[in-house]
């Protein structure tokens, strides 16, 4: 029984009956969802889906541009291999988001949950960006140098300009990717420190209050 109906008056009984009707209660599943930590899991599912969509978007952009028709055999081979590198990196990114979604339930026991959950999302995003940057930069750079011998062809394909910088991106890609991971993990750890301080302060206050009541 709701608090409104505890007094037993007629008006309260009417309100309580209204609360039980479908018109007033159809949104309860949604309200329960946004009121729990599971709502944050949606971010992990969305980013996992984005990881799978990226290779398809690349295929669409290249085919829609019609530029492959102007490339020779080496250009087509280079694109296919580059796309495989992108697909591999995105598959690793998908697994990263898919496996990390369980971390939401791990922090559900804390008094303050939004901060550590957001910290986990921030760290995972940095690892995702760093992983894609490192793998794609190194792989496409290798292909641009050893198969094409120059960067002119891949750089003309939509979305490949930054990745087709040859020898530079072979080394810069993994280094920049590593820096992304470190930076975002640092930011995530700072958020976790705030959450830990809040939880510890809450626990200390509860212990002091319990001690005063003895």
Q: Are 96 and 171 in contact (CB under 8 A)?
A: no
pLDDT (tens, 9 = 90+) of the chain, 214 residues, equals 444 445 556 666 666 766 666 666 666 666 666 666 667 788 899 999 999 999 999 888 888 877 767 667 777 888 889 899 999 999 999 999 999 888 777 666 566 677 788 888 999 999 999 999 999 888 888 887 777 765 455 555 655 656 555 677 788 889 999 999 999 999 998 888 876 776 666 555 555 555 555 5
Pair of tokens at residue 134: 């490192």
Pair of tokens at residue 26: 């159809």
pTM: 0.74
Q: Which of 141, 156, 161 is nearest to 75 (CA)?
A: 156
159: left (phi over 0), alpha (psi -120 to 50) or beta: left
Q: Are 47 and 132 in contact (CB under 8 A)?
A: no
Q: Are 117 and 40 in contact (CB under 8 A)?
A: yes
CA angle (186 as vertex; 184, 188 as ends), nearest 5: 70
What pLDDT is attached to residue 5? 46
């Amino acid at each position: 029984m709701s608090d409104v109906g505890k007094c037993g008056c007629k008006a309260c009984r009417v309100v309580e009956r209204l609360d039980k009707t479908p018109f007033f209660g159809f949104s309860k599943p949604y309200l329960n969802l946004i009121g729990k930590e599971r709502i944050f899991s949606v971010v992990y599912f969305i980013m996992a889906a984005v990881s799978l969509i990226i290779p398809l978007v690349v295929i669409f952009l290249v085919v829609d541009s019609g530029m492959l028709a102007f490339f020779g055999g080496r250009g087509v081979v280079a694109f296919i291999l580059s796309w495989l590198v992108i697909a591999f990196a995105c598959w690793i990114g998908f697994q990263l988001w898919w496996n990390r979604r369980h971390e939401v339930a791990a922090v559900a026991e804390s008094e303050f949950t939004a901060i550590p959950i957001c910290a986990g999302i921030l760290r995972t995003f940095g690892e995702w960006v760093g992983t894609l940057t490192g793998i794609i930069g190194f792989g496409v750079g290798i292909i641009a140098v050893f198969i094409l011998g120059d960067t002119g062809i891949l750089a003309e394909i939509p979305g490949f300009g930054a990745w087709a910088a040859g020898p530079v991106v072979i080394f810069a890609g993994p280094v920049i990717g590593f820096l992304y991971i470190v930076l975002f993990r640092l930011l995530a750890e700072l958020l976790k420190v705030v959450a830990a301080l809040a939880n510890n302060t809450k626990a200390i206050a509860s212990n002091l209050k319990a001690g005063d009541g003895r």
